[in-house]
Amino acid sequence: MSEGLQADIAVIGAGPGGYVAALRAAQQKSKVVVIEKDEVGGTCLNRGCIPTKALLASVEVLEMSSQARAFGLAGEPLKPDLAAMIARKDRIVKQLVNGIKFLFKTRQIELVQGLGKIVSPETIEVARPDGSKTSVKAGKIIIATGSEPAKLPGFEPDGQTVITSTDALKMTSLPANILIIGAGAIGCEFAVVFSRLGAQVTIVEMLPQILPTEDEEIAGELRKIFEMSGIKIFTGVKVEKTEKLAGGRTRVALSNGQAEETDRILLGVGRSFNTTGIGLEELNVRMDRKAVAVNEKMETSVPGVYAIGDVTGKILLAHVASHQGLVAVANILGEGKSMDYTCVPGCIYTRPEVASVGLSEKKAREKSQDITVGKFPFAANGKAVCIGEAKGMVKIVADSKTRKVLGVHIVGPHATDLIAEAVLAIKSGCTTEEITETIHAHPTLSETVMEAAEVAQGTPIHIV
């Protein structure tokens, strides 16, 4: 084993939780070592958030080109080139990876390539790719090992017939048919990509609605839009078995008695936590089922060892991981901060987009019957009509007595950007009246939030 490194803080994993924690710690003059077995940026940058958004951006341009005549423009619509789209995605990923490495170098963060294993609360043993080993001694340790695509028993990925989201990001040719198991964010986003590129897409979801964690009405609206675009959807249905057919195709038997034939099966059934092989058992770190148990300060059961991101099993979102990283570092440095999960925005980059924060209508009614709901359609918004994206709506759930905003749910153009106002509103304890009294620029999509607040108050302006 080579001579080890010394650090104030060692971070295992350089995803959006780990690298943000490292940058903040270094900014506060701590000596930081980051251990990463693959590439900096983690799943989000290399195999998740960024690559899928790059592909969806290409799809958006393609879709807009197909509508050129409706905008008064002449010329042939563009044709998809999946290989070129993948190449563009790879360039974007490389650029952003290099950006993180530059920040590491600028802030004098030591990056160690290899698989880290905690052997004591102060020591991490690192197995390097070349077979050598080194150690890192640190005052505090942050576990940020993330997650990977979950497996489905009986549907083992082979990279050809049965693929994961990681495999899908490497495809350079489009299958004629693809069946997606799971209608969460991953499944629905890939449904948009493949459908808009020309594949026949079928989604199978075992729960009663697509996007199971979203407001029922918003999910139902997206389902209608999906089905109008030709995507076939089965909800409340399980995949029971598969049968190989000639020509590489597969017959998929469903629990409703129907069968679908497809060229590819994409698994979009969630994530599994990367907790094995990193020393948790030997260190007796307390687990919460298969995730690392942490308190509101991101501390594990072992003093001096923290955990952040997907591996904690809280809310599996990149921005949550990043914020957890900031909280962990603040507590390591004695600032005393706590995580608050009550105001986390959820963003799904479908076409149209979906975004939400706070309580759904159903959950709000379960807590109290005394609520009011305001809904405003993008079809009544001038900017949405101008850009040709007038499907969807903004929905605000508020307390009918105090007018305090409890939840905001959006399906429509740029929903993932519009949700920021709603997050701040809930975080600040704003009322619908305070939103309506805030002047929103015209013409903008953000007016839909103001208009939904007007409806919630019973004073609609641009709808009856």
Q: Which residues are catalytic?
A: 442
Q: 385 CB contacts (<8 Å, ≥6 apart)?
A: 379
Find where tokens 């094995």 sit: 276
Q: What are phi and psi of 233, to 5 degrees?
A: -130, 130
Which secondary-structure segment (H or E) carries 344?
Answer: none
Cβ-in-10-Å burial (0-12, 13-18, 19+) of 458 comes to exposed
Find where tokens 């921005």 sit: 319
- Residue 394 pairs with which residues in a beta bridge? 376, 410
Q: Which of 18, 13, 41 minimizes the C-alpha distance to 126?
A: 13
Spatial contact of 262 and 179, defined as CB atoms under 8 Å apart: yes
Task: Report how far residue 35's alpha carbon sits from residue 17's, in angstroms, rounded to the nearest whole number.
Answer: 13
Q: What beta strand segments (E) does 255-404 contain?
A: 259-262, 264-267, 271-273, 287-288, 291-292, 305-307, 346-348, 353-358, 371-377, 393-399
Spatial contact of 405 and 430, defined as CB atoms under 8 Å apart: yes
Tokens of 279: 């020393």
Please report the DSSP string for 394-442 in residue order: EEEEEETTT-BEEEEEEEETTHHHHHHHHHHHHHTT-BHHHHHTS---S
Q: What are phi and psi of 220, to 5 degrees?
A: -65, -35
